[in-house]
Amino acid sequence: MENFYIINKAGKVLLSKNISGKKLDENLFLGFSSSTSNFCQSLFEENIKEVITSDSKILFREVGNYLFVLHSSLNIGSYVLKTIIKDIEELCEFIFGKSSEWNNSFTDFNGIQDILCNQMLELSPTIIVKGIKKISIEENVQERLDKLLSVFENQDGICSNSSLIILGESILHSRFSLHESRMILQYYKARPISTQKFLYIPVYLQENWCNLYFVKMQSYIFVFKSFIDKPFSIFKQSVEEFRISLIQSRLDIPIEEPPVLLRLFAKREVFALLYINIKTGNTIFPKLRPGPEIQQREIINIFWNFYHQTCSLIKIPGVNEISITKDQYRFYAKTENMHRIFILFSSEYIKPENIDTATNEILRNIKFYK
């Protein structure tokens, strides 16, 4: 990502953020000052238009009375850029409400630029595939955690299926929907609780405004949603009781976010892999094996270059697997039921006829790990 802009219908630049590289000349956008809406209506499909120049890409997305503009180098795939710009829109709606009701008087994009820029600066696998990073715990422990959360939710003013626990930058357990969990985790990663023990924000979820509370409990962050007219004071005792239950329950849960290592899933012929459960959004992108920084950077760059080439193709009905070989790398993408996996192999250590067997073994390890 290089630059991001938000322009209103009158052509005024409301947010201008240089992420990396050279700042784009804003005069390029002055032509939209009187014809933004017509421009979008005449050229946009799904409200997104991509313009490719000799050295960069510019994506335009119409959102209500505003235009979101994302500028990037050519090496990032269009599918990924479209995912990011849609995610930014969803975060804005999470904070400001329905886009059709935004207005210049009450919608302060500059006030949340840290949250929006975190999306573009980090460019993590979970953002790219619209997934979540979840900590692996035993199924019986998940059930007990779920019961603790459901008991807490069973009181007046608390929304049902609206609580989760964060550890580090991952979700330990969630009763929210995938979309809600993603929005909450992305907000928290941009604005984590540090010294304070409590954080409250009004948010827009499921077509309604509600209160979202973040409560620090030792190394965990407890998050729950209540009706907009209910103050925290009426939940304070219940929150304390939940804290005691969580700490004293003797559940076999980690007290810090554990590393996810590549050796847990694959043999040494695998340089990198990305897994996503399409149904739950659970995403795994293991840490690379130790090695020189320049080598690791090359592996990451090669992996994402192959991913950009295949991520949209693997979603086409009837396309279940794709294989690409280049130099010493062999890239393999596969969809199997709810499982989607992208693997970067060493072409020196694995033969084409052995890829399917190796992939199935990795998938078995992932299912066991989860």
How far CA 308 is from CA of 19, 213, 220, 355, in Å, comes to 21, 37, 35, 20
Residue 184 token pair = 């909450």
End-to-end CA distance of the chain: 32
Contact predicate 235/339, CB 8 Å: no
How far CA 211 is from CA of 199, 202, 294, 343, in Å, comes to 10, 5, 46, 41
Residue 343 token pair = 């693997």
What pLDDT score was predicted for residue 259?
A: 92
Residue 181 token pair = 């969990």
Structural domains of the chain, ranges and CATH numbers in brackets? 3-122 (3.30.450.60), 139-248 (3.30.450.30), 262-369 (3.30.450)
* Edge-to-edge order in the sheet of strand 283-284: 283-284, 270-277, 339-346, 329-336, 321-326
Residue 221 token pair = 């962050």
Determine the longest span between alpha carbons in the chain, in angstroms.
Answer: 63
Contact predicate 171/103, CB 8 Å: no
What is the pTM for the complete model shown? 0.88
Which of 176, 362, 195 has the alpha carbon at shortest distance from 268? 362
- pLDDT tens for the chain, 370 residues long, are 788 999 887 778 888 888 777 777 766 655 544 455 555 554 445 667 878 878 888 888 889 889 899 988 887 878 888 888 999 999 999 999 999 999 878 899 999 988 988 877 766 888 888 999 999 999 899 999 999 999 999 999 999 999 999 999 999 999 999 999 999 999 999 999 877 888 999 999 999 999 999 999 999 999 999 999 999 999 999 999 999 999 888 788 888 999 999 999 999 999 999 999 999 999 999 999 998 999 999 999 899 989 988 887 877 777 889 999 988 999 999 998 899 999 999 988 888 889 999 999 999 999 877 6
What pLDDT score was predicted for residue 33?
A: 41
Q: Amino acid identity of 246?
A: L
Please state, in angstroms and rounded to a whole number, the distance separating the CA atoms of residues 56 and 76: 9
- Bridge partners of residue 274, in order along the sequence: 342
Which of 113, 119, 135, 56 has the alpha carbon at shortest distance from 83? 119
Please state, in angstroms and rounded to a whole number, the distance separating the CA atoms of residues 340 and 327: 25
What pLDDT score was predicted for residue 220?
A: 94
Compute how many other C-beta atoms are within 10 angstroms of the C-beta atom of residue 192: 14
Region of 331 (left: φ > 0; alpha: ψ -120 to 50; beta: rest) is beta
* Edge-to-edge order in the sheet of strand 198-205: 170-174, 158-167, 220-227, 208-217, 198-205
What pLDDT score was predicted for residue 42?
A: 46
Q: Residue 257 carries which DSSP code?
A: P
